[in-house]
């Protein structure tokens, strides 16, 4: 079952390594690259780490980065996980991106579990919602990863935020909120945490 929820379908440019998936820099100069990982294997994968390299048309390496903050943490066959790679120095425009995905490589390894996002709404410049810990055990450091898209399907922002409360007992609901400050016409969101 795909545990990524939202109002957006996955834009093709995220699957084609297009430079258009690079989002505008934040006010602090951080720039993010949205990633969506499809599990097209016949097995469940977990603890994904996604790495990206950006090269110019001449093949010169200009940027590299990785993230292990993707959700859901456990991805069934045919499912998808989403996240972002951030750069403290904004990469040059027009780079060609190459991605590699390493299952089982993220911090937390097999200790991560999925939570269910039960509601997501946009309100002004904020995205708000709720999750429930239906993992069957307690969870620490519960978080939501989301990607916002503009009217043309272009990613506009991506972030991960901790839920409130951050540590959850079995069956406990939690809420989340974050200011996206950019267009969020449609969105995708997923949640994960560490078994506690």
- What single string gives the DSSP state of each residue in 38-74? E--SSS-EES-EEEEEEE-TT--EEEEEEE--EESSE
pLDDT at res. 65 = 86
Please enumerate in sequence order all residues whose Cβ is within 8 A of that of 28, keeping only pairs 6 or more positions apart, or say none.
Answer: none
pLDDT at position 147 is: 87
Are residues 130 and 60 part of one domain?
no
- CA dihedral (150, 82, 15, 74) in degrees, to 10, reads -160
**What is the C-alpha to C-alpha distance for residues 99 and 39, in angstroms, rounded to an integer?**
14
pLDDT of residue 3: 60
Q: Looking at the structure, do residues 16 and 70 belong to the same domain, yes or no?
A: yes
Show which of 74, 102, 130 is a domain's final residue. Answer: 102
Say yes or no: 49 and 125 in one domain: no
Considering the domain architecture, whether residues 96 and 122 belong to the same structural domain is answered as no
Last residue of a domain, one of 82, 102, 122: 102
Q: How many CB atoms lie within 10 A of CB 18?
A: 14
Low-confidence ranges of the chain (pLDDT < 70): 1-22, 24-29, 68, 105-110
Per-residue pLDDT, 16:
42
Number of domains making up the chain: 2
Q: What is the pLDDT of residue 13?
A: 47
Six-digit token string for 134: 């239906």
Q: Judge contact between 36 and 75, C-beta under 8 A.
A: no
Pair 173, 190 in one domain? yes
**The pLDDT value given to residue 181:** 74
Domain extent for 38: 5-102
Cβ atoms within 10 A of the Cβ of 162, count? Answer: 15
CA of residue 9 relative to chain centroid, distance: 14
For position 135, which CATH number holds? Answer: 2.60.40
Q: Are 75 and 139 contained in the same domain?
A: no
Give the per-residue pLDDT at 173.
98
Q: SS3 for 109?
A: helix
* Residues 92 and 147 occupy one common structural domain: no
Q: Residue 18's pLDDT is what?
A: 38
Residue that finishes a domain, picked among 102, 122, 157: 102
Residues 77 and 117 in one domain: no
125 plus 91 within the same structural domain: no
Distance between terminal CA atoms of the chain? 23
Model-wide pTM > 0.85: no
């Amino acid at each position: 079952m795909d545990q990524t929820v939202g109002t957006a379908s996955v834009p093709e440019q995220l699957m084609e390594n297009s430079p258009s998936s690079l989002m505008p820099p934040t006010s602090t100069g951080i720039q993010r690259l949205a990633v969506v990982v499809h599990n097209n294997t016949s097995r469940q994968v977990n603890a994904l780490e996604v790495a990206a390299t950006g090269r110019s048309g001449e093949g010169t390496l200009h940027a590299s980065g990785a993230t292990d903050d993707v959700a859901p943490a456990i991805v069934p066959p045919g499912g998808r996980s989403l996240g972002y790679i951030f750069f403290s120095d904004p990469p040059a425009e027009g780079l060609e991106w190459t991605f590699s995905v390493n299952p089982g490589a993220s911090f937390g390894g097999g200790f991560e579990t999925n939570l269910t996002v039960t509601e997501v709404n946009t309100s002004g410049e904020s995205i708000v919602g709720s999750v429930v810990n239906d993992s069957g055990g307690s969870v620490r450091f519960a978080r939501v990863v989301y990607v916002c898209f503009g009217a043309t399907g272009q990613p506009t922002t991506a972030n991960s935020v901790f839920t409130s409360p951050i540590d959850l007992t079995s069956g406990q609901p939690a809420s989340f909120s974050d200011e996206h400050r950019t267009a969020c016409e449609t969105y995708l969101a997923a949640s994960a945490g560490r078994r506690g």
